[in-house]
Amino acid sequence: MAALPQQPTILSFEDARHVVERHATEVGPGQVETEQLLASTGRVLAKPIVADRDFPPFRRAMRDGYAVRARDLTQLPANLEVIAEIKAGATPEDLPAEVRPGQAAAIMTGAPTPDGADAVVMVEYTSLSRSRVTITRAVESGDNVASIGSEGRQGDVLLSAGARIDYTAIAAAAAVGQNSLSVFRRPEVAILSTGDEVVEVSERPGPYQIRNSNSYSLAAQVKEAGGEPRMLGIARDESQHLRRLVQQGLEHDLLLLAGGVSMGKYDLVEQVLAELSAEFFFTGAQIQPGRPIVFGRAREKYFFGLPGNPVSTMVTFELFARPMLEALSGLTPRKLTFLCARLKSEIKTKTGLRRFLPGLLSGEFERAEVELARWHGSGDVASTARANCYIVIPPDRERIAAGEWVAVMRR
Ligand code: AMP
Ligand code: MG
């Protein structure tokens, strides 16, 4: 029998996460492809979005009101002659040659500010009588006028490659006239479940068998994180079968295994990977659920051995596999951040592990509240599905009182 991984290395959560983050800087995205503007939502930008002209391209009024010379308003109320009305979409011919001292032009949001005027007074501070306007509030030069190029000069990078294309990126692309975007190809992520007791969803399970939920939850997480899942099915708890599928998995960009990494006699994942000369960066993290998580590299591909209990599989994907997948997608790396919420009822636990326990986030606006979901351990998919977050409990806390702030990982 071949050797087991060099030395079992069990890291703190933070150290384990940093190890993954460091390795994630070693990988890059695949090829670049072109996608229609809207279809690129959720993908990763491969080429920057560049301003095709100055933004804004003209001195854009930011409010409905009157374009004025700010200096005309040093004495209030001021009474000015209204010489024009300028609508959004006005043509150059619609504009007065100049707004001269003592004059103003009625102007609408989005319209070009005429020469001579250097500010817009909001209509709320004015009253119009025939062709004269009385203004009761002063402005400073530049107020309510977006100057040419203030948001970006022609040729400026508005958004760099490596950004996730969300609705704000879509807006930036649309604003510069890009009907399509260059995006990175989605990384292919092989998903392999293990276990003699595990049967496919479509099969009728025997009395001591359970259905394969892990391959599907992982595939959904992979998709959500921007990857392309490749389902390798279920490996039996038998070295040869497992090895064949692991080898197949290592042909993809990333390999996720679920199950078979605990201390049981038939937990063969590490052994099989060691036989394939894998390097192991860690073989456990001080977390619950998910303590036996394994991270390594074989045949120049990274793999994660995720513990098979369904909630462990889900949580360890989020904590460790996601940043690697994001790096393979070309996404600029980002740190893991948690929200804070007030604990609704006391939590008692044991020290030693950082815990990510299914929770129910509620409350409203600035008053986020959270409580533990009632669950029956890391096999309990149903309560986790009814929860909406994970409460993060530091390893040194035995008791957290109601009303204390706790960290929350959103789902
Ligand atoms: P393991 O990590 O292989 O020791 O499995 C831990 C627990 O998770 C056992 O109760 C398994 O039956 C269960 N399990 C393993 N793989 C799956 C899977 N693909 N779908 C659902 N449950 C699983
Ligand atoms: Mg197993």
Tokens of 247: 């080898």
Indicate whether 114 pLDDT > 90.
yes
Residue 194 CA to ligand 2 centre (angstroms): 6
Please give the structure tokens belonging to residue 221: 């997480």
The tens digit of pLDDT for each residue in 117-165 reads 999 999 999 999 999 999 999 999 999 999 999 999 999 999 999 999 9
**Distance (Å) from CA 326 to ligand 2 centroid:** 28
**Which stretches of 299-374 are assigned E, i.e. beta strand?**
301-306, 339-343, 347-348, 354-364, 367-372
Tell me the ligand closest to 307's alpha carbon.
Answer: 1
SS3 content of the chain, % helix, strand, coil (to 5): 20, 35, 45
Q: What percent of the chain has pLDDT over 70?
A: 98
Q: For residue 213, which amino acid is it? A: S
Q: Is 39 helix (H, G, I), strand (E, B) or coil?
A: helix
Residue 308 CA, ligand 2 centroid: distance in Å: 6
Q: Hey, how many other C-beta atoms are within 10 angstroms of the C-beta on 219? A: 18
49 pLDDT higher than 90: yes
Quote the tokens at residue 47.
Answer: 């080429």
pLDDT over threshold 60, residue 3 = no
Peptide bond into 96 cis (omega under 30): no
What is the average per-residue pLDDT within 33-58? 98
- Both ends of the chain: CA-CA distance in Å? 42
Q: What sign has the CA pseudo-torsion 43, 47, 53, 59?
A: positive
- Are 242 and 261 contacting, i.e. CB atoms less than 8 angstroms apart? no
Give how far the C-alpha of residue 261 lies from the chain's centroid of Cα atoms, to the nearest Å. 29
Atom 15 of ligand 1 has which residue's CA nearest to it?
Answer: 308
Strand, coil or helix: 309: coil
pLDDT band at 1; cut points 50, 70, 90: very low
Q: Which tens digit of pLDDT belongs to each residue from 274-309? A: 999 999 999 999 999 999 999 999 999 999 999 999
222 Cα: distance to centroid of ligand 1 (angstroms): 19
Count of other CB atoms within 10 angstroms of residue 125: 17
Distance CA 93, CA 110 (A): 17
DSSP state of 145: E
Q: Which of 200, 214, 218 to mutate to test the pocket of ligand 1 (most atoms within 8 A of CB)?
A: 214
**What are 177-205's pLDDT values in tens digits?**
999 999 999 999 999 999 999 999 999 99
Q: What is the pLDDT of residues 230-287, one digit of tens each?
A: 999 999 999 999 999 999 999 999 999 999 999 999 999 999 999 999 999 999 999 9
On the 0-12 / 13-18 / 19+ scale of CB atoms within 10 A, 1 is exposed
Atom of ligand 1 nearest to the CA of 237: 3
Phi, psi (degrees; rounded to nearest 5) at 393: -110, 120
Within 8 A by CB and 6+ apart from 267, the residues are: 237, 259, 260, 261
Would you state the structure tokens that stand for residue 74, as one six-digit string? 């040093």
DSSP β-ladder status, 10-11 and 284-285: parallel
Per-residue pLDDT at 6 exceeds 90: no
- Which residues neighbour ligand 2 (ion) by CB within 5 Å? 195, 259-260, 308
Q: Are 162 and 228 in contact (CB under 8 A)?
A: no
Tokens 């490596």 belong to: 162
pLDDT band for position 8 (cuts 50, 70, 90): confident
Q: What is the structure's pLDDT at 163?
A: 98
